Every structure is written in C-alpha cells, then in structure tokens.
Structure 1
Amino acid sequence: MTADLYGASPLAVRADALAASSSPSTVRVAEVPFLAQVTLRVDPRGAAAERIGAALGAALPGPGGVARTERVTVLGLGPDEWLLVGPEGAAQGLQDTLTAALDRAFGAVVDVSAHRTVVEVTGPKAREVLNKGCALDLHPRVFASDRCAQTDVARTAAILMRHDAGSPGFRIFVRASFARYLADWLIDAAAEYGG
C-alpha cells in the first residue's frame, strides 16, 4: 500500500477570500504557491561567486538588487546572502547547480522552499495597499522594479520584491506561519478599492 502525497499551500484556505478582495482594474492579491526557494551564502568577492554567476547566467546582485534569468530570480538579501527563486520543483536542480559551482569553497546552500509562501499584490493601487502597513518608501523613484528589501509588512517580517511587468507589482515572501494573518490584513487593506 502506498500513501498518496498531498500538499496544501499555506493560503489555500484563503484563496477565495483573496480573489473576492481583488479588482482587476485596481488591485489583485493572490498567493503564488510552491515556488522553489534556495538560500545561498558565499563570499561575493571570491571565485566561487563568479562561478555561481556563470552557472546561473547572471551575476549575483548586491544587497537590495534583483537579477533574473529564464529559470531563476536572485534576490540580494545582504552582503553575502541571496535568495534564489524558481518554479515549483526546481529546488533540487538549483541546489545541485550552486553546490557544483561552490566547488569546495566556503559557503552554504539550503532549500527553504517550505519556509515561506509568496503573496503577489499587483495593479495600479498595489503600492497604496502596501503603504498602509509598510514603512518603506515604495515610490518607484526610491523602490524601483527589480529591487528587494527585508522589512515588515503589517508587522510581519517579510521579504518584499518589486516587479513591474505591465503594471506595478510586488511579491511578499512571508513565513508560512504568518501567511494567513498577512492575507487577512491584505484583504482588509484592499477593501476600499473594490472587490
């Protein structure tokens, strides 16, 4: 007898409420579940960082920067720390690529895919919704597309990434244990924009 594998995202129970709080013309709030997430720690000035950049197809960005390739988005979290984000099921491949590029250099590669989920807030009013609970200046002149920061959103520790693809958009990487609280806060914050 074999067991059936079943996984539910942290916000599966809030999917309908998130959809109901969204308005296509103003703001959309939705979970982007099951993304592969791998943390990397390595000396950014060393040969291993150069090998990793070559293996990924993009140099590791500095703190607050974001680099993209077809298969991975790399967020610069600190002077020697990055979060690599890919599609569902890509974590092992990312780990293998990073480990091979480290080639016995001092560093760390850890799959943290189950640690956080991602909530996406997009649309013309996305910035206004997030401004209600985030102390960062989210104006595009200050927090441009392809920027990221570790911050609090609604008093919840998160990684915030801006990605404007057609319209303003943000991805919030939040710990799974705080995801429902954040979703409920976002539903309330988006209410005035119709949904």
Structure 2
Amino acid sequence: MADTVLTAWQRSPLADAAHRLAAVTRSSRGAIRLAELPFLAQVNVRLDAKGPAADAVGLALGLQLPLEANTVVHAGDVTAVWLGPDEWLVVGRPGTQGDLEGRIRSAAGDEPVSVTDVSAQRTTLLVAGPRARDLLAHGCSLDLHPRAFGPGRSAQTTLARTQVVLVARDEPRAGFWVLVRSSFAGYLADWLLDAAVEYR
C-alpha cells in the first residue's frame, strides 16, 4: 500500500524536469503548456455497475460513476475515469486517497467491491494550450479531433509507445491529463519536450 501522507522527502517522478517543462510554455508563447501534476490521489475501483453499490459510491463521491465507455465525470476535486464495464479510476487532490478509499468502502457496504490505492503507480502530465492536440497527435494513433475526443472523453492508449490513460478535461482550454506509469514518466516528458520544439 502506498504512503498516503505527503512528506518533505518525497520527490515526484518529474521533479528534475519541472524547469524544462515550464520553459516550453514560455518559449511557445502559450501555444503549448506542459506541467506535472504530482501526487494526485488515484484509487482503482471495481464493482458491479448495475448493482446498488454503484449508485451509493457515486453519491458518496458527489458524482455518478461514468457508465459509457471511455468517458470521464468530474465534480469538485474528484474525477472518475471509466476503465472498463466494472472498473474506474477515481482521481482526487494529493493526499486524499485514504479519504476516497474510506468513502467508497463505506458506501459499498456489504456489496462486493475492490478498492486499491494506485497513487504511487502513475504521475500525471498536463498538456494544454491551443496546440496541445497537435502535439499529442505526433505520438498517439487516436483521432484527437474535438468531435471524436472532446471534453469528458478518455482512453487507455499509447503515446510515444508508452501506455497512458489520456483524459480530455471538461473545458477545451483545460487541456489533457496524461496519466503515465512513474517508471516511464521521464521518457515521456523527454519525448513531449522534443516534439514541442516546432512550436517554440
């Protein structure tokens, strides 16, 4: 189980790349914005989508778990990402994974449910700006046009040959979350920095 309390000695997977990511925003004059969103709480939830636990868990989180494939629901500081017919990734503010787990387990009651803290598994990159879709399209085979992958859409896909969960945020200007395994985060950040050169 991952540590649920942030401490001074914890370093994000991309701590050393923060200045290079910020430099892209400055040099591209806002066309591309890259940043790490470190330590987001991430809880994997599996339960029967048609059972009473799904509604109860949604109520406890303040949102309805998305039932449509490859969609995202956002309410306040909590985001639920559809991963499968009976699986979701619940994302919250850093350090809230224990609270999220407790709320989900309590709401499910005696219904069968699997709740796993996977916060340490991935980090999150924010890719935003008017050219964000163009940048991602360099390494992603999905159709990222707003008609096909607009706000509220998500996908488990590959970006630069790296497995990621890609989330189109609620508002077009909010950009994309790219959730990537921590061990591949450095490689993916380097790829994004290299691909963003043409926008500087």
Q: TM-score range by the shorter chain?
A: over 0.9
The superposition leaves residues 115-166 of structure 1 with CA deviations (integer Å, 9 ceiling, x where unpaired) of 0000010000000000000000000000010111000010000000001536
Distance in 2 (CA, whole Å) between partners of 1:139 and 1:157 is 20
The aligned amino acid for 1:169 is: G
Matched, 1:178 2:184: yes
Aligned to 1:133: 139
Aligned residues: CA RMSD: 1.3
User: What is the TM-score normalised by the length of structure 2?
Assistant: 0.92
Q: What SS does the aligned partner of 1:60 have?
A: coil
Structure 1: gaps of 5 or more residues: none
Distance in 1 (CA, whole Å) between partners of 2:128 and 2:170 is 8
Aligned to 2:152: 146
* 1:64–1:75 contact (8 Å) kept in structure 2: yes
Larger deviation: 150-159 or 47-56? 47-56
Distance in 2 (CA, whole Å) between partners of 1:155 and 1:39 is 23
Distance in 2 (CA, whole Å) between partners of 1:170 and 1:152 is 14
Match of residue 35, structure 2, among 17, 30, 36? 30
Q: What SS does the aligned partner of 1:10 have?
A: coil
Structure 2: gaps of 5 or more residues: 1-6
Distance in 1 (CA, whole Å) between partners of 2:85 and 2:106 is 22
Aligned to 1:44: 49
Q: CA deviation at 1:83?
A: 0.4
What are the equivalent positions in structure 2 for 1:109-120 lying under 5 Å apart?
A: 109-120=115-126
Q: CA deviation at 1:65?
A: 1.1
Larger deviation: 19-28 or 140-149? 19-28
User: What is the TM-score normalised by the length of structure 1?
Assistant: 0.94
Larger deviation: 92-101 or 53-62? 53-62
Q: CA deviation at 1:184?
A: 0.1
